[in-house]
Amino acid sequence: MDLDHLFHNVVRALAHLNELGHSLPVVEYRAKVKLHGTNCAIQRAGDGVVAQSRTALLSLDADHKGFAGWVHTHRAYFSSLERDLVVFGEWCGPGVERGMERAAAALNGRVAEVEREDPWVKRELGISGLGEGLVLYPVLVDRAAPSLEQVERLMFKAKGEKHRTAGTRAAVLVDAAVVASIEELAALMVTEARLQQALGEVCGGVRDPRATGSFLAWVVADVRKESVAELEASNLSWAQVEKAVQARARAWFLARKEAV
């Protein structure tokens, strides 16, 4: 499932389908808390158990936020699972009309509540802490169970202010942001949250000069994927803004302290 969709991306896709003659569906959503964590998985491979992050296999000597250590501690349980099984999850813990605009306002209120305190973590783990936001997925489309294609097209995420990887004024917007210049687009998309995410994914949270190219490639790919609607709304092309995005990310990366 593509969890990179934002609400205005869903609106844009449906408007395009409507222009092609498709009727607009009536969609009923259910929201689940978007945990503030990092995507990891556990492989039941051969006779062993292997932990992995989104992009790499992990070990006790090459861990990712303590996940491999946790898997090692619970290896007896995971060894009991069937072979060739991979379990994905989120590793977390301490450390377009007026009616649609009203819905967006209500969702923004719910996102703000989740960011103040993650209700799922509080209820299940007894820990009070910052939440990330919501993931909304359709449970009914025109009063029927949605197809896989409809789920992928209509689901979207909404992050709180501290976790947004784009500098939008709200978590849920009906229309994509319009910018006046290339630099403004770069500033909108190359945010502290996105850069910190890239640093964690590529370098484990601490700058390594040898990973400069990989870091920039991650940021550029992520911005390109998530800025389609903003580029279109601002009448800009990716070729016009790529250098500005890369320059902003490079300056931030070079200003970070290196690993000791």
d(CA 236, CA 96): 23
Confidence at residue 159, expressed as pLDDT on a 0 to 100 scale: 76
Nearest CA to 90 out of 132, 57, 49 is that of 132
Let me know: does 73 contact 63? Beta carbons within 8 Å.
Answer: no
**Matching residue, tokens 């489309």:** 141
The mean pLDDT value for 41-67 works out to 85
Tell how strand 48-53 and strand 37-45 pair up: antiparallel
Whether residue 54 is predicted with pLDDT greater than 70 in this model: the reply is yes
Contacts of 57 (CB under 8 A, 6+ apart): 50, 51
More confident residue, 248 or 7: 248
Q: Report the SS3 class of residue 91.
A: strand
| pLDDT tens readout for residues 207-226 | 899 999 999 999 999 999 88
113: closest CA among 46, 158, 81, 78?
158
What's the chain's average pLDDT?
81
Q: pLDDT digit string (tens) for 222-245?
A: 999 888 888 887 888 999 999 999
Give per-residue pLDDT as tens, 13-40.
Answer: 888 888 888 888 888 887 777 766 778 8
Has residue 137 got a pLDDT over 80? Answer: yes
Q: How many CA atoms lie within 13 A of 213 on its CB side?
A: 1
Cα–Cα distance, 164 to 167 (Å, whole number): 7
Does the predicted model carry a pTM greater than 0.85? no
Whole-number pLDDT of residue 13 = 80
Note the pLDDT tens digit of each residue in 143-182.
888 888 888 878 877 777 777 665 555 555 555 566 778 8
Q: Higher-confidence residue: 26 or 3?
A: 26
- The mean pLDDT of 48-69, rounded to a whole number, is 85
What is the DSSP code string of 152-200?
A: HHH-EEEE-GGG-SS--SSSS-SS----SSHHHHHHHHS-HHHHHHHHH
